[in-house]
Amino acid sequence: MDPKARVDVIAYVKGLQDWQSGGHEWHMQSSRYMNDRSNNSPTERGVLDGPTGLGTSAARIPLSLIASGPQRIRSYTHVPYQVVGPVPHPDFYMPFSTRLSPHLQAARRHMMEWGRRMGMLDSLPGVPGSGIWDEHKLRAFDFALCAAGIHPDASADELNLSTGWLTWGTYGDDYYPVVFGRTHDMVGAKVSNERLSQFMPVESTVTPLPANALERGLADLWSRTAGPMTVSARRKFRTAIEDMTGSWLWELANQMQNRIPDPVDYIEMRRKTFGSDLTMSLSRLSHGQTVPPEIYRARPIRALENSAADYACLLNDVFSYQKEIQFEGEIHNCILVVQNFLD
């Protein structure tokens, strides 16, 4: 933000603080709530209580900082690569049976060929240690199995497309920490995000020339996916992808600061880093506009979608805990977030 915008935000936040402190003070004093202190005048209160009333919240900021200091400091002092061992898995409740697409084996072969053709198995020129994946890793990740389970009724082409999006999204999620995180290159990451958006044109087909596997994969998937869409659908689909790529910057910033996020921040952002909206958008491709847009915007549907996304995200974190904390030095995991928050 520019300096004026920062001042505006600070003034707004200060207004919220005064609203909270003033409302709290009123609830503590008003006879409406049958308070024992309702008849006390300010002069009858202890001197050490500090100033009270509207506009005096700033006087209590030091006390607030002292009280929350240990929690704030703890969020930046995580030691990576600690030996944590495997986590015993609870008996996860899943009432829905799994069906797999009959095109699974073909999709597996296509995934390997596509990833190789896009350059996802190559090292990046001029970037030491930038071999994100190799053939063994890509085959073992088995994104085709995931796609075959979440889209069991897909045609062969649809399953290849779903597998491609899952492969590309996971590649990007692994790409940013290696390419930009190790060098603390936030500027480069932001430039990369701006470039990625250019490979998702809404009202044209013009795109730049791809410079790496991430851009090449997105350009290929977008041209095959967005072609049959309406302009409105393309715009929504692009937003879903940009939400995910934008969340990679949030993860990078935390990684650079060695900051473990708080639980509320983490849950809301995890839906984006997990690519939840992208996955749900893929599920709508085959049935087009059957469901009216206003239904998707309804609060009960949004709540259902968030619940499904949160279940998948947190399930993933439980299974990934040892891998991420012990072997990857990761900080974005719900178990670590809650451990840190509750000390």
Domain range holding 133?
A: 104-342
* Residue reference for tokens 């402190």: 21
* Residue reference for tokens 């409105």: 232
pTM of structure: 0.79
Q: Is 77 exposed, middle or buried (0-12, 13-18, 19+ CB in 10 A)?
A: exposed
Residue 60 covered by a domain:
no
Residue 175 covered by a domain:
yes
Residue 136 covered by a domain:
yes
d(CA 188, CA 194): 10
Residue 47 covered by a domain:
no
Q: What is the CA radius of gyration of the chain?
A: 25
Backbone angles phi, psi at 332, to 5 degrees: -95, 80
The domain tally of the chain equals 1
Helix (H, G, I), strand (E, B) or coil at 154: coil
List Cα–Cα distances, 313 to 14, 252, 275, 333, in angstroms: 34, 19, 10, 9
Cα angle 93-297-308, degrees, rounded to a multiple of 5:
10
Residue 170 covered by a domain:
yes
The phi-psi region of residue 208 (left if phi > 0; otherwise alpha if psi is between -120 and 50; otherwise beta) is beta
* Residue reference for tokens 């209580």: 49
pLDDT, one tens digit for every residue, the chain (343 residues): 899 999 999 999 998 888 888 888 888 888 777 766 555 544 444 545 556 555 566 666 677 667 667 777 788 888 999 999 888 888 888 898 999 999 999 999 999 999 999 999 998 776 665 688 999 999 999 999 999 999 999 999 999 999 999 999 999 999 999 899 989 999 999 999 999 999 999 998 899 999 999 999 999 999 999 888 888 889 989 999 999 999 999 999 999 999 999 999 999 999 999 999 888 888 777 666 678 888 988 999 999 999 999 999 999 999 999 999 999 999 999 999 999 998 8
Residue 142 covered by a domain:
yes
Residue 272 covered by a domain:
yes
Q: Is 185 exposed, middle or buried (0-12, 13-18, 19+ CB in 10 A)?
A: middle
CB 338 within 8 A of CB 317: no
Q: Can you give the CATH number for the domain in which 115 is found?
A: 1.10.600.10
Residue 79 covered by a domain:
no
